[in-house]
Amino acid sequence: MQTNDSINLLKECDAGTKMAVSSIDEVMNEVKNPKFKNILVECRGKHIEIGNKLHEILLQHDQKDKEPNPIAKGMSWMKTNLKMTMNDNDTTVADLITDGCNMGVKSLNRYLNQYSKANETAANLCKELIHLEEKLAADIRSFL
């Protein structure tokens, strides 16, 4: 049986994967460097894969998935479009994605602490997402 903490953590992680995929989609067409683009494509795929796992577990427990906060999503969209209008280069994209990764790591760690009674499966998926975000930020540092 899933605890409320497990369900809540899974839902927050699910929303996070959707936010990450959406953010990558917003900038993908602006990336010029093929290596950078490949990093983003690979990371996007991993977010989708983890999101699918989360969705499957939630469905098994008759739970609905969670969409990203519309205000956070709107603010991200505005920031991305403003910065890209001013300077549409790979450095700007790397800066935006790095900021998103840092916010994701911060939020996911907060949820991991908040939902401390989550089961091992939920906690491990959250940690996997945290690692993915940290790795993406590290992988794109050379484009800053």
Domain boundaries, the chain: 4-143
**Residue 1 confidence (pLDDT):** 38
Cβ 50 vs Cβ 129: under 8 Å: yes
Please give the full DSSP string across the chain, using - where no structure is assigned: ---HHHHHHHHHHHHHHHHHHHHHHHHHTT---HHHHHHHHHHHHHHHHHHHHHHHHHHHTT----PPPHHHHHHHHHHHHHHHHH--SHHHHHHHHHHHHHHHHHHHHHHHHHTTT--HHHHHHHHHHHHHHHHHHHHTGGG-
pLDDT in tens, 82-97: 787 888 899 999 999 9
Stretch 91-119: mean pLDDT, rounded? Answer: 97
Choice between 109 and 88, residue whose per-residue pLDDT is larger: 109
Q: Which fold has domain 4-143?
A: Ferritin (1.20.1260)
pLDDT in tens, 11-33: 999 999 999 999 999 999 999 99
**Residue 2 confidence (pLDDT):** 56
This prediction has a pTM of: 0.91
Q: Is the pLDDT of residue 129 over 80?
A: yes
